[in-house]
Amino acid sequence: MNDKLHDEAEDLREQTAAGAPELQEHDRVAELERALEEANQKALYAAAEVQNVRRRLEGEKVQAAAYANTGFARDMLSVKDNLDRALAHVPEGAREDEKLKSFIEGIEATARELDAVFARNGVTRVEAKGQPLDPNRHQAMIEIPSADAEPGTVVEEMQAGYMLKDRLLRPALVGVAKAG
């Protein structure tokens, strides 16, 4: 009987051993398929990330090109301010004098040309006087008692503000109406 049990155990071992490589091979294939799927997922995520980075960099490149002249435009605003101040201080009778007339016309022509250059490059003046105070475009310097204007309305512009396309180059320095 011992021999019979021994023979049955031996037969069972042989069957298990014969099936084991098949089971091991099946497990190995399943493991490799999981690893392949995981690698495919990682590759897809990496490709998506590369595409996102490419889009972001392209957007930043467009922004950089559009606003590359911001510093230069800011510097040119002081030239515009000085031309405007010079024209504002021309005495009434100066336009009658032939020598001064051509000088004044030259300053006006220079101011017009600067305005045209600003327009070509997307630099526009911020609307201020008569507008409600907009802290994104105006900087309130003083409050002025006013019976004519609604409180919070810009009634005086001390310095013009400018935009470069949709970005503020310089806020307008303004006086704002308060209840009088």
List per-residue pLDDT tens for the chain, 180 residues long: 667 766 776 776 666 565 555 557 778 888 999 999 999 999 999 999 999 999 999 999 988 888 888 889 999 999 999 999 999 999 988 888 888 888 999 999 999 999 999 999 999 999 999 999 999 999 999 999 988 889 999 999 999 999 999 999 999 999 999 987
pLDDT at 99: 85
> What are 97-100's contacts with CB under 8 Å, separation 24+?
none
pLDDT at 16: 59
Are 121 and 73 in contact by the 8 Å Cβ rule? The answer is yes
Q: What is the pTM assigned to this prediction?
A: 0.66
CB-CB neighbours of 157 under 10 Å: 20
Q: Cα(11)–Cα(58) distance, rounded to whole angstroms?
A: 70
Q: Cα(62)–Cα(47) distance, rounded to whole angstroms?
A: 23
Are 158 and 175 in contact by the 8 Å Cβ rule? The answer is yes
CB-CB neighbours of 125 under 10 Å: 14
pLDDT at 147: 86
Nearest in space to 157 (alpha carbons), one of 139, 170, 145, 169: 139
CB-CB neighbours of 159 under 10 Å: 16
pLDDT at 179: 82
User: What three-state secondary structure class fits 78?
Assistant: helix
How would you classify the pairing of strands 167-170 and 162-164?
A: antiparallel
Are 174 and 146 in contact by the 8 Å Cβ rule? The answer is no
Following DSSP, what letter does each residue of 126-161 receive, concatenated? PP-TTSBP-TTTEEEEEEEEESSS-TTBEEEEEE--
